[in-house]
Structure 1
Amino acid sequence: MIDRLMAIVIVSLSVMLFSCEEANHKKELTDTTQPTQSRSANISQMGGQEEVRKSDTTLSQRSRRPQQVSARTNSISNSRHNAITKAVQEVSPAVVSITVTEVVEGGRRLKFNNYYNRFFSVPVEREVSSMGSGFIISKDGLVVTNQHVANQNAKKVVVSLTNGSQYKAKVLGSDELADLSLLKIQADTTFTAAEFGNSDSVVVGEWSLAVGNPFGLFKASQPSVTVGVVSARNRDFRPDPKEPRVYLNMIQTDAAINRGNSGGPLVNSQGKVIGVNTFIFTGGTSGGNVGLGFAIPSNRVQKIIKQLSSTGEVQLGYDAGFETKQMTYNIAARYDLPAVMGLLVESVNRDGPAFEAGIVPGDIILRIGNERIQSKMHAQALLREYSEGDSMRVELVRNSKRYETKMMLRRKIKE
């Protein structure tokens, strides 16, 4: 009996122990599954956040794209509107095309009379038209151009503006030596004027723009613009020995200057006129541009047009006090003088600067300033560089010896 009771107790204890172990095992299983669920939940939450972040980034990029494109477009637009385009906009309204009609004389050959035509011809007059450029320098319509474009011989002058307007113009004055003319537009209206720059401050290598009417292309539209740099300064030329024109201290540019550009402005990057486009050097028979264009410096232009506007011609503001003639081989042989290029002094005013400087008749003037004299016209051009009160250096030959003296320029003392 006792044995049976002991067996029952042992079985009961075993069952209880098994139940406890099973419960503990379930608890362990429950404890181990909870972290897994938590991690998956965290991963799910993180994945959602990443998706949200990606979505936000995409939306942000999309929202910024139009701004970036707009900024890029503005940058390109700003790069196109640079100093050169602004300079063109500044000066273009003042640039004009000039059409000049002149009356020239010629001979007309008679038909079916070859024998008569060998010795005679019938004089006739005919009108010839030419075109050039210019620019307005005052609100009341003063226009600067070259003398070889428009001069006192012009019968009719028509000025065309960039807005299509056309006006008649009058030649107020011209100077063949300086190759400059001043016109006045015949209209009671206000015009846009160009502004002069300081040609003495021009730097070799800076931008230069030639604006004008090459080949007569500009009639009632925008003028043509070519861009280059200032290639050199202070160039002296006498392009044609048969012509009286002498060009001193010219500005050289590689901006294309072609036929019809004459008289138009040479402009710097600020839109200010630093010269008047005048001629090109082709080096041959070609009339096209080869990279050597020349402009009369603006400071010289302003001096000339100031006199043209007041008197219609250019006069020295002082009296040098001597009369000269150009030296030739015949003169040298006749007076037993050295055959040198220069000016022979014929007479000296006793009340003038030349007499005070010790210059006497028979002297041969070789240089004025630092410039070697090429002709009497050249000397006249050099004398224009001085004003009353200036001291002018003169180099001369007397009795085959060279001397140097200085003249203090002043007005002639009236007797």
Structure 2
Amino acid sequence: MPSKRLPFARFLLQSVLLGLAAAFIIGLLVPEAGPWLRARLGLTGVAGQPSQNVPAQHPPAAPHSYADAVQRAAPSVVSVYVNKVITERPILLPNPTMQRFSGITLGLPRQRLQRAQGSGVLVSPDGYILTNHHVVAGANEIQIVLWDGRVTAATIVGSDRDTDLAVLKIDGNHLPAMALDHEIPLRVGDVVLAIGNPFGLSQTVTQGIVSGLARSQALLGGPENAQSFPAVDFIQTDAAINAGNSGGALVDAQGRLIGINTFVLGRMSMDAEGIGFAIPAATARAVLAQIVEHGIVVRGWLGAEYSDAPAGSGNLPPEISHGVVLTGLYANGPAAQAGLRPGDVLLSLDGVDIIDQFDLRSRETAAAPGTEVTLAGLRAGVPFELRLQLAQRPASRPG
């Protein structure tokens, strides 16, 4: 019996040694063969147990350069140069002696040329440009400098002070326009690039992140040269926005347009730093469509001014913490004609609670002129309900 087992044991030993030698040679010649075989078999090579050391899947790393995004977006950003003729009135000093020795020459009002600069974004291949209202307000002449250095004149198609947006038109075809026909979801922390013409340095790019979204309250201290509109929800960013960036593009890390830069908080507060705002692309798209079609932005209008209703307004019950109080009515406006009065508290529109003045302004302006709405509220603590027909909001708001 032992004599029969000896040849088998010798054969088995030779097979093992031959296999190890073959594995050694394969390992030297093809190093990746071992991991590949273990991965195919689902083994670690230890007792045939499934591998527990599979590398974790990590999200793709941020790009080391945003050059591709800039190359994609920058040709759509133009520099805007504006000439304005302004009238200067003489300074009148109350004391004749002071007038004599002040060195100030008194006389008739005189006109002088004022130059301003900003940025714009080509949004159609045939030459429509979005920029800020405050950049072109009062312009007598507008010159556009394209990405390749060409200079051309522009005309104002329409301007909307409420959103601080304006639409310009230049002659041209097959221009490198940026798309406005898609929705790009944004999150706080997303990388963004601001492209514009700060201080005349065209095609300047600054980088930052989305610092906040839906910044309606920031509109209370909007651009110096424009009366902002409370229905706009700004994108807040720390990408540097300087004089001349107004009207330029805010793009994401892929070079897609997400907003039109408009102002920085630092203009109102010397202590603010890195707090800039852009008008969302969705708002810009809606304004562009209306201005191209109508020359103005068509909005619904109640014909009333209002503010948030403080507790106790109109005997407001303590359990109600929403609504607005009317602070003024425009003569012959829809609210006045419907019988509303200053001091009335509005609590709902078409059966939906009015959260605050920004909520009502947004819903009011989103409705088409001629729309009939139902308002419910309190007058001296007594509930009331009435219907009125919205008018078209004046292009420049009264007051």
Q: Give the alignment's TM-score, normalised by structure 2.
A: 0.64
1:291, 1:232 → 2: CA distance? Answer: 12
User: What's the offset of the Cα at 1:226?
Assistant: 1.0
Match of 1:196 in 2: 180
Match of 1:211 in 2: 195
Q: Which letter does structure 1 place at the counterpart of 2:381? A: S
1:379, 1:107 → 2: CA distance? Answer: 41
Match of 2:289 in 1: 306
Match of 1:233 in 2: 213
2:179, 2:223 → 1: CA distance? Answer: 34
| Superposition pairs of residues 144-223 of structure 1, within 5 angstroms | 144-151=130-137, 153-185=138-170, 187-196=171-180, 198=182, 201-218=185-202, 223=203
Would the aligned equivalents of 1:103 and 1:155 in 2 still touch at CA under 8 Å?
Answer: yes
Would the aligned equivalents of 1:83 and 1:270 in 2 still touch at CA under 8 Å?
Answer: no
2:134, 2:267 → 1: CA distance? Answer: 21
| Superposition pairs of residues 252-331 of structure 1, within 5 angstroms | 252-282=236-266, 286=270, 290-316=273-299, 322-325=302-305
Deviations 1:373-400 (A, max 9, x none): 27xxx96565334458999896744223
| 2:88 is the counterpart of 1:106 | yes
2:383, 2:205 → 1: CA distance? Answer: 50
Match of 2:51 in 1: none
- Which of residues 189, 204, 209 is equivalent to 1:224? 204
Would the aligned equivalents of 1:233 and 1:251 in 2 still touch at CA under 8 Å?
Answer: yes
User: What's the offset of the Cα at 1:121?
Assistant: 3.9
Q: Which letter does structure 2 place at the counterpart of 1:133? A: S
- Which of residues 345, 357, 361 is equivalent to 2:340? 361
Deviations 1:121-141 (A, max 9, x none): 420111100000111011111
Q: Which letter does structure 2 place at the counterpart of 1:131? A: Q
Alignment: residue pair count: 307
1:300, 1:263 → 2: CA distance? Answer: 14
User: What's the offset of the Cα at 1:216?
Assistant: 1.7
User: What's the offset of the Cα at 1:107?
Assistant: 2.6
Q: Which letter does structure 2 place at the counterpart of 1:253? A: T
Q: Tell me the SS of whatever aligns to 1:384.
A: helix
Would the aligned equivalents of 1:366 and 1:373 in 2 still touch at CA under 8 Å?
Answer: no
Q: Tell me the SS of whatever aligns to 1:238.
A: helix
Match of 2:234 in 1: 250
Deviations 1:24-78 (A, max 9, x none): xxxxxxxxxxxxxxxxxxxxxxxxxxxxxxxxx9xxxxxxxxxxxxxxxxxxxxx
Compared with structure 1, are the counterparts of its residues 169 and 337 closer, same or farther at alpha carbon in structure 2 (3 Å cutoff)?
A: same
Compared with structure 1, are the counterparts of its residues 392 and 224 closer, same or farther at alpha carbon in structure 2 (3 Å cutoff)?
A: farther
Match of 1:6 in 2: none
1:386, 1:299 → 2: CA distance? Answer: 17
Compared with structure 1, are the counterparts of its residues 95 and 200 closer, same or farther at alpha carbon in structure 2 (3 Å cutoff)?
A: closer
Would the aligned equivalents of 1:342 and 1:366 in 2 still touch at CA under 8 Å?
Answer: no
| Superposition pairs of residues 341-360 of structure 1, within 5 angstroms | 342-344=326-328, 360=339
User: What's the offset of the Cα at 1:345?
Assistant: 5.5
Compared with structure 1, are the counterparts of its residues 125 and 361 closer, same or farther at alpha carbon in structure 2 (3 Å cutoff)?
A: same
Would the aligned equivalents of 1:389 and 1:409 in 2 still touch at CA under 8 Å?
Answer: yes
- Which of residues 89, 95, 108 is equivalent to 2:71? 89
Q: Tell me the SS of whatever aligns to 2:153.
A: strand
Match of 1:134 in 2: 120
Q: Which letter does structure 1 place at the counterpart of 2:188? A: V
User: What's the offset of the Cα at 1:104?
Assistant: 0.5
Q: Give the alignment's TM-score, normalised by structure 1.
A: 0.62
| Superposition pairs of residues 33-112 of structure 1, within 5 angstroms | 84-108=66-90
Would the aligned equivalents of 1:197 and 1:272 in 2 still touch at CA under 8 Å?
Answer: no
2:366, 2:65 → 1: CA distance? Answer: 33
Deviations 1:142-180 (A, max 9, x none): 1000000113x2111000012111100001100111100
Q: Which moved further from structure 2: 246-255 or 359-368?
A: 359-368
Match of 1:34 in 2: none
Would the aligned equivalents of 1:109 and 1:122 in 2 still touch at CA under 8 Å?
Answer: no
Compared with structure 1, are the counterparts of its residues 388 and 127 closer, same or farther at alpha carbon in structure 2 (3 Å cutoff)?
A: closer
Deviations 1:299-334 (A, max 9, x none): 011111111112221112x5x6x532458xxxxxxx
1:84, 1:394 → 2: CA distance? Answer: 51
For structure 2, the residue ranges without an aligned partner over 5 or more in a row are 1-28, 30-60, 308-312, 317-323, 393-399
Match of 1:124 in 2: 110
Q: Tell me the SS of whatever aligns to 2:287.
A: helix
CA RMSD of aligned residues (A): 4.2
1:292, 1:155 → 2: CA distance? Answer: 32
Q: Which letter does structure 1 place at the counterpart of 2:139? A: A
User: What's the offset of the Cα at 1:272?
Assistant: 1.3
Compared with structure 1, are the counterparts of its residues 370 and 86 closer, same or farther at alpha carbon in structure 2 (3 Å cutoff)?
A: farther
For structure 1, the residue ranges without an aligned partner over 5 or more in a row are 1-56, 58-78, 328-335
Q: Which letter does structure 2 place at the counterpart of 1:225? A: V
Q: Tell me the SS of whatever aligns to 2:291.
A: helix
1:96, 1:360 → 2: CA distance? Answer: 50
1:282, 1:181 → 2: CA distance? Answer: 23
Q: Which moved further from structure 2: 382-391 or 94-103?
A: 382-391
